[in-house]
Amino acid sequence: MFTSLSDSLDKTFRNLRGVGKISEKNIADALREIRIALLEADVEFGVAKDFISRVKEKAMGEDVLKSIKPGEQIVKIFHDELEALLGGDQAPLDLNPPARILICGLNGAGKTTTSAKLANRLKKEGRRPLLIACDLYRPAAIDQLAVLAKQIDVPCYTPDASESDVVKVAKDALAWAEKQQGTVLIFDTAGRQEIDEKLILELKRLHDFVKPKETLLVADSATGQQAVSVAEHFDGAVGITGIILTKLDGDARGGAALSMRAVTGKPIKYAGEGEKLDQLFEFHPSRMADRILG
Ligand code: GDP
C-alpha cells in the first residue's frame, strides 16, 4: 500500500534535503510534486488541495527557512499534517454496556469477514463477543458467518431461513444474547451492490431498534474515492461512528485511507489486511504516516 506515493515522496524529500539553502521556490516545487503524487494516489481533489496549503503555510515560515536543517523540518511538518489528515489519535470503540456494534456496507466490502475478525480481536482482548446474522437477503451470508464464528469459537445467532423481518430477528437475538451472557454484540447486516432506498430503510429500522453504540461502515479501500462516497451516504442515512477499511493488502494507492477522515469527519477505527481472521488491525494514524514516509 502507498507504494507509488511513498516512492514519489521519497524522491521529493531527498531532493529537498540535497539543496544547500532552501528557497521558497524549492518548497513550492516540492509541494507541487507532492500534490500530484497525492492526486495520483486517488486522494480527493479538495482534500489534497487543503492539505498542501496547510503544509505550505507552515513550511514557508521564516523559522523553517532559516533553520539549520530546513529539509528535515519540512518532512516533520509533512508527517504531522499527514497524521492529522489520517485522524490524529487512534479512535477506540465505545464498548460501554450495552455494547452493540452494527456492521454495515455494500456487498463484497468484507462485512461478514470483518464481523468475525472483530469478534476474534475482542475475544483475544478478554471480552465475550457474540455474532448476530442479520443479512436476510443472502442465506449464504448467514451460513458464512456461522462457519467463521465456529472457527473462532464465538457464539453466533442465526435466524430461520424463512424470517424476513430484520427487527424481529434482532429482537430474538437480544433475548438469545441475554442467555449467552455476552459483553459485546456484533450485528452483521445486509448489503447491496449499490446503495438503494430499500437497503437504507431496513438499516434505519434495525439501527432504531438496536440503538448501537457503534455503527461501523465496512468499506473496500481498493475502490478508492468510491469508498469515501459510500461512507458519506451511509453516514447521512444512519449516522456512522467509524469506518473499517478492508483490503488494504490489495490497495496500492491508498486514496481512500487518506481522504476518508477529511471528507466524512469520521475516524477509521480498524483496517483489514488479508482474508485471515487475525488480519484486522487498529488504525493508528501516526503509524500509517510513518509507513507512507517509508
Ligand atoms: P460482505 O459481502 O461485505 O459480507 O463481504 P465478505 O465478508 O463476504 O467478503 C468478500 C470477500 O472479500 C471475501 O472473499 C473475503 O475473504 C474478502 N476479504 C474481506 N476482507 C478482506 C481483506 O482485508 N483483505 C482481502 N484480501 N480480502 C478480504
Q: Average model confidence (pLDDT) for the chain? A: 93
Binding site membership of 180 for ligand 1 (Cβ less than 6 Å): no
d(CA 89, CA 16): 29
Hey, whose CA ends up nearest to atom 12 of ligand 1? 110
Average pLDDT over every residue of 171-200 = 93
d(CA 117, CA 67): 47
The vertex-280 CA angle with 277 and 281, nearest 5°, equals 150
Binding site membership of 98 for ligand 1 (Cβ less than 6 Å): no
Q: Which residue has the higher pLDDT, 196 or 208?
A: 208
d(CA 142, CA 145): 5
Q: What is the pLDDT of residue 3?
A: 84
Binding site membership of 135 for ligand 1 (Cβ less than 6 Å): no
Alpha carbon of 38 to ligand 1 centroid (Å): 26
Backbone angles phi, psi at 93, to 5 degrees: -80, 150
**270 is written with which cell numbers?**
480498524
> Do 203 and 237 contact (CB within 8 A), yes or no?
yes
22 pLDDT higher than 90: no
Task: Provide the pLDDT confidence category of residue 251 given band limits of 50, 70 and 90.
Answer: confident
**287 is written with which cell numbers?**
503509524
Task: Provide the pLDDT confidence category of residue 17 given band limits of 50, 70 and 90.
Answer: confident
Q: What is the pLDDT of residue 294?
A: 79
For strands 129-134 and 214-220, give the pairing. unpaired
Average pLDDT over every residue of 253-271 = 95
Alpha carbon of 112 to ligand 1 centroid (Å): 7
102 pLDDT higher than 80: yes
Q: What is the pLDDT of residue 265?
A: 95
Ligand 1 atom with minimal separation from the 246 CA: 23
Query: Among the listed ranges 61-70, 175-184, 238-247, 252-261, which one has the minimum average pLDDT value?
Result: 61-70
Query: Is 42 marked as a binding-site residue?
Result: no
pLDDT digits (tens, 9 = 90+) for 231-240: 999 999 999 9
Find cell 447486516 and name the residue: 189
Q: What is the pLDDT of residue 54?
A: 95
Ligand 1 atom with minimal separation from the 141 CA: 4
Q: What is the pLDDT of residue 144?
A: 97
Sheet holding 268-272, edge to edge: 156-157, 129-134, 184-189, 99-104, 214-220, 242-246, 268-272, 280-282
1 pLDDT higher than 80: no
Cβ atoms < 10 Å from Cβ of 95: 17
Average pLDDT over every residue of 132-159 = 95
Binding site membership of 111 for ligand 1 (Cβ less than 6 Å): yes
Ligand 1 atom with minimal separation from the 117 CA: 20
118 pLDDT higher than 90: yes
Binding site membership of 134 for ligand 1 (Cβ less than 6 Å): no
Query: Among the listed ranges 61-75, 239-253, 263-277, which one has the minimum average pLDDT value?
Result: 61-75
Hey, whose CA ends up nearest to atom 20 of ligand 1? 110
Ligand 1 atom with minimal separation from the 105 CA: 3
Cβ atoms < 10 Å from Cβ of 39: 15
Binding site membership of 107 for ligand 1 (Cβ less than 6 Å): yes
Task: Provide the pLDDT confidence category of residue 152 given band limits of 50, 70 and 90.
Answer: very high
Binding site membership of 214 for ligand 1 (Cβ less than 6 Å): no
Q: Which residue has the higher pLDDT, 157 or 59?
A: 157
If DSSP states are collapsed to H, E and C, what string results for the chain?
CCHHHHHHHHHHHHHHHHCCCCCHHHHHHHHHHHHHHHHHCCCCHHHHHHHHHHHHHHHCCHHHHCCCCHHHHHHHHHHHHHHHHCCCCCCCCCCCCCEEEEEECCCCCCHHHHHHHHHHHHHHCCCCEEEEEECCCCHHHHHHHHHHHHHHCCCEECCCCCCCCHHHHHHHHHHHHHHHCCCEEEEEECCCCCCCHHHHHHHHHHHHHHCCCEEEEEEEHHHCHHHHHHHHHHHHHHCCCEEEEECHHHCCCCHHHHHHHHHHCCCEEEEECCCCCCCEEECCHHHHHHHHHC
> Do 100 and 215 contact (CB within 8 A), yes or no?
no
Average pLDDT over every residue of 38-65 = 91
Binding site membership of 267 for ligand 1 (Cβ less than 6 Å): no
Average pLDDT over every residue of 19-42 = 91
pLDDT digits (tens, 9 = 90+) for 58-96: 988 877 777 878 888 899 999 999 999 999 999 999 999
Q: Which amino acid is at 183?
A: T
Q: What is the pLDDT of residue 177?
A: 96
Backbone angles phi, psi at 104, to 5 degrees: -130, 170
Q: Which residue has the higher pLDDT, 63 or 250?
A: 250
d(CA 106, CA 244): 12
Q: What is the pLDDT of residue 94?
A: 97
Alpha carbon of 241 to ligand 1 centroid (Å): 21
Q: Which amino acid is at 61?
A: G
Binding site membership of 286 for ligand 1 (Cβ less than 6 Å): no
What residues form DSSP beta bridges with 271? 245, 281
Q: What is the pLDDT of residue 4?
A: 86
d(CA 149, CA 255): 32
